[in-house]
Amino acid sequence: MNGFVRLILIFLTLFPAVSVSHAETYQEAVLRDAPVLYYRFESATNGTIPDISGHGRNGVLTGNASLSENSAAKELGNCLTLSGGADAVHVKCANEQKITFPDRKITIELWMRNIGGGWNTLLNADEWRSRAIHYQFHDHGALQFCVQGQRPEETFFDFASLPGLKKTRWNHLVLTFDATIRRENVRFYVNGRCVQTATVGTPNPAEEIAFTLGESFTLGNWRNERGFRGMLDETAIYDKILTPEQIESHYLAAGEILEPEPDAVTPLRMTKETQDRLLAHGVEKIAFIKRYTYTSNHYYTEYINSRFMPGGNLCFLDVKTGEVRDLCPEMTGGVFERMDVNFDATKIVFAWKKSDDEGYRIYETNLEDGSVRQVVPTPTNETALVARYRNEYHHGTDDMSPCYLPDGGICFISTRCQYGILCDAPDIFTTTVLYRCDADGNNLRKLTNSSVSEAAPVCLSDGRILYTRWEYVDKGAVSVKCLWTMRPDGTGSAELYGNDVNLPPTFIYGREIPDSPGHFVFTGTPHCPQSAMGTVIRLDTGKNIRTRDPMTYMTPYVDVQEEPGWHFLDEFERWQRDGGGHGPLFKEAFPLTMSEFIVSHKPAGEPFAAPAGYGLYLLDEQGKVDLVYRDPEISCWNPVVLQPRPHPPVLRGTMDETLAERNLAHCIVMDVYHGMENIPRGSVKYLRVLEQIPRPWGARRPNFDDEYDQQHAVISKDAALGLKVQHGVVPVATDGSASFLVPAEANIYFQALDEHFMALQTERTYVNYMPGEIRSCTGCHETPQSVQPADEDRSAMNVYRSVPEALKTAPQLPVAQHGETSARRVLDYAQDVQPVWDRHCLSCHAPATAEHPDRKVEGGLNLSGEMTRLFNVSYETLVPERRQQTEIPDRGLLGTVIGENHPKTGNVHYLPAKSLGAHTSVLAALLADGKITLENPEDQARVEKLRESHRDIQLSDAELLKVTNWIDTNCQYYGGYHGLRNLKYREEPDFRPIQTFESALDKKEFPLEIE
Please determine, for residue 107, whether its predicted confidence score (pLDDT) is greater than 90: yes
Please determine, for residue 269, whether its predicted confidence score (pLDDT) is greater than 50: yes
Q: What is the Cα–Cα distance from 86 to 346, expressed in whole angstroms?
A: 60
Please determine, for residue 21, whether its predicted confidence score (pLDDT) is greater than 70: no
Q: What is the pLDDT of residue 626?
A: 96
What is the tens place of the pLDDT at every residue in 325-373? Answer: 999 999 988 999 999 999 999 999 999 999 988 999 999 999 999 999 9
Q: What is the pLDDT of residue 1002?
A: 84
Q: What is the pLDDT of residue 258?
A: 67
Q: What is the Cα–Cα distance from 882 to 898, expressed in whole angstroms?
A: 10
Instruction: Quickly list DSSP for 673-699.
Output: TTT-TT--TT---EEEEEEEEPEEGGG
Mean pLDDT along residues 190-207: 64
Mean pLDDT along residues 735-741: 96
Query: For residues 88 and 414, which has the higher predicted lDDT (pLDDT)?
Result: 414
Q: What pTM was estimated for this model as a whole?
A: 0.80
SS3 string, 596-655, reads EEEEEEECCCCCCCCCCCCEEEEEECCCCEEEEEEECCECEEEEEECCCCCCCCCCCCCE
What is the tens place of the pLDDT at every residue in 872-921? Answer: 999 999 998 877 666 667 789 999 999 998 888 888 988 999 999 999 99
What is the tens place of the pLDDT at every residue in 515-565? Answer: 999 999 999 999 998 889 999 999 999 999 989 999 999 999 999 999 999
Q: What is the pLDDT of residue 4?
A: 29
Mean pLDDT along residues 124-137: 64
54-68, 80-94, 783-797 — which is least confidently predicted? 783-797
Which residues are CB-contacts of 574 (< 8 A; sequence separation ≥ 6)?
none
Please determine, for residue 1006, whether its predicted confidence score (pLDDT) is greater than 80: no
Instruction: Quickly list DSSP for 138-190.
Output: ETTS-EEEEE--SSGGG--------TT--TTS-EEEEEEEETT-SSS-EEEEE
Q: What is the pLDDT of residue 20?
A: 39
What pairs with residue 114 in β-bridges? Answer: 230
Q: How confident is the model at residue 438 (pLDDT cuts 50, 70, 90)?
A: very high
Q: How confident is the model at residue 798 (pLDDT cuts 50, 70, 90)?
A: very low
Residue 357 CB burial class (10 angstroms; 0-12, 13-18, ≥19): middle
Q: What is the pLDDT of residue 489?
A: 96
What's the mean pLDDT when you consider all of the chain?
87
Q: What is the pLDDT of residue 336?
A: 98
Q: How many CB atoms lie within 10 A of CB 986?
A: 10
Q: What is the pLDDT of residue 797?
A: 39
Mean pLDDT along residues 483-500: 95
Q: What is the pLDDT of residue 6?
A: 32
Q: Are 391 and 427 in contact (CB under 8 A)?
A: yes
Please determine, for residue 653, whether its predicted confidence score (pLDDT) is greater than 80: yes
Q: What is the pLDDT of residue 433?
A: 98
Q: How confident is the model at residue 790 (pLDDT cuts 50, 70, 90)?
A: very low
What is the tens place of the pLDDT at every residue in 617-632? Answer: 999 999 999 999 999 8
Please determine, for residue 159, whether its predicted confidence score (pLDDT) is greater than 60: no
Q: What is the pLDDT of residue 205?
A: 44
Please determine, for residue 685, whether its predicted confidence score (pLDDT) is greater than 60: yes
Q: How confident is the model at residue 435 (pLDDT cuts 50, 70, 90)?
A: very high
